[in-house]
Structure 1
Amino acid sequence: MKANGVMPSLGSSTVRTAHRDVTERLRDAIVSGVLPAGTRLVQADLAANLAVSVTPVREALRELESQGLVDFDPFRGATVHQVSLAELDEVYEIRRALIPIAARERVRTITDEELAEAETVVNRMTLRVSDTRWVDDNRLLHRLLDGTSGQAHLRAIMRRLSDISSLYVGISVTTDPARRRRARDDHKALVKAYRKRDAEQVTRISLRHIADTAAVARTALVADQA
């Protein structure tokens, strides 16, 4: 499938601003399902749609590839990443293994300023915001909470997994009306646990939280394949 006119024009922008805006708009369209999995992302078409040159589109696609949201194929070019049950199981299995390690490190390194920012993000993740906004803020929140300041490799792996997980988070919040409320409660509990520097509680809440997301997303994917 080829991408068509689904996104509004960006108007005039600097090259840097255009790159950031294009990246955000494409990410929103992918996570929200406006650009479904497998959609061909033709640079010239996207540039025309967004009223920018091809350069920021090319840079945006490369950035989204690094986040696991876009795939590049030598024959088909860029396409929206295809979700699958196999990937869902793999990504969440790895996250389950790494969360206890990351939690032990993060409760020591997270700052009061970072916790205040995390609380601000949690408070704006209301039940009324759009699915795209929710998924974006969820990604930001977990970058704040799951990041490990002292372990660069672990931080990079966790961020990569979190980026890919955004697709499955999107599936979970759009297919289960009650998922958002449960996630909101988990997020509030996580911030409290981090404030207490309680690694065991952070681990327990985090594992329950991602298990819920994975279960809802799995149910949706199985139903879609039926």
Structure 2
Amino acid sequence: MALEAWNDLTLAEKRKIRRGFIRNPHKAYERLRSQAEGDTPEPDTPTPEPEVVSAVDIAISVTDGTDPVGQVEVAIGEITGTTGSAGGCTLSNVPVGSATITATKEGYENYSETITVDETHTSFTISLEAVTPTQTITIQVEDNDSASLINGASVTIDGEYKGTTTTVNGYDGFLNVTVPIKDSYVVNVTATGYLEYNETKHYENGNNIVVYLLST
């Protein structure tokens, strides 16, 4: 800047230029040069504030571990939806933050999980477990020779230990067990003083499964 141009500046303008050299020498120099050449300096461009996201859309996919599951009621907080035949749905305007996602359908275990909703978490996959229908059957254990009922016999059904026979409704040698609904079961029974029993037994609804043990 020529000395004449500097002398034409007001005291406030001179102070502003000096402060500019201290804070940002390059920008202050450009402003000083443009004023010397008679140009109008460009105003400083403010830095835009980052946009605050308060809600996002969430894509949901529901399977049974292999195939998609339709007609599942899905909810995140108060936002709800239902999956289509392809097992998917979108929940719109879900508030960001921590939330609980739930999924329910008859024939499946209820699903619930705490999730984080934000711009980086906008899709979730849910795997539902099918409910296995069950029934209660009664195991009756008798001595093969005397027909006496035996308490304390250990009972295993399809490889799962179920307990020991005891007195039920005043009668010895009984055990009520809950098992998946089937036509037959592999029954294993052991008792002190008797040979181990292991056979596949057919079950007819309402009838006891009777096991006869042979003494050793």
**TM-score normalised over the length of structure 1:** 0.18
Instruction: Identify, as 1 or 2, the structure richer in strand.
Output: 2
TM-score, normalization by structure 2:
0.18
More helix by share: 1
- Of the two, which has the highest radius of gyration? 2
Specify which structure has the bigger relative contact order, considering alpha-carbon pairs within 8 angstroms and separated by 6 or more residues: 1
